[in-house]
Amino acid sequence: MAHTHAHGFKDDEDALAAVEEHHGHMLERVTALSDALLAAVEAGDGGAAYDEKANLVGWCEDELIPHALAEEGPLYGPARETPEARLLVEGMLQDHQAIVGLVEELRDADGARAAAVGLAIARAFALHLRKENGLLFPFMVENPDLSLAQAVEGLEEVVG
């Protein structure tokens, strides 16, 4: 999955496809990691649960949170300046804060609570990226004053 987009995107549609693909990989990963944590807890395997929780926390710290932070400036910023998308972007920023809060909760949790919080992170991310893929980014593609292609240019955390 070592795609590079060093030469930029042809157009906004091309950029949207790359963002959607990256979101898809991220969702697969967080789902697999949270399911593995749940399976370890269900099996009563404390050692495996400890390791799986560390894997999920590590992925959130290395991938999920940097992804959210990378979006906030160049992507959310210009959309937030438009009257049509302002409230949507405010809501998306609240999603990011909620997800970061869940990751903090996961760090301190173990056992059934850790598995539950892990699933909550995966489901919250799924809900959030549906809004990005289906509402916010298509709005940017359609708005001639905004360029999704320019906004994600060089943002490895967003386009992979």
**Where do contacts with Fe ion occur on this chain (CB under 5 A)?**
71, 132
The full length of the chain comes to: 160
Phi, psi for 43 (deg, rounded to 5): -80, -5
CA 92, 74, 29, 40 torsion: positive or negative?
negative
> How many Å is the maximal CA-CA distance in the chain?
55
Supply 36's token pair.
Answer: 């593995």
Write down the least CB distance from residue 25 to Fe ion, Å: 11
Nearer to Fe ion, 26 or 49 (CB): 26
Nearer to Fe ion, 117 or 152 (CB): 152
**Cα angle value 124/12/130 (rounded, 5°):** 15
Write down the least CB distance from residue 116 to Fe ion, Å: 23
Write down the least CB distance from residue 42 to Fe ion, Å: 30
DSSP 85: T
Nearer to Fe ion, 52 or 132 (CB): 132
Write down the least CB distance from residue 96 to Fe ion, Å: 6
Nearer to Fe ion, 50 or 131 (CB): 131
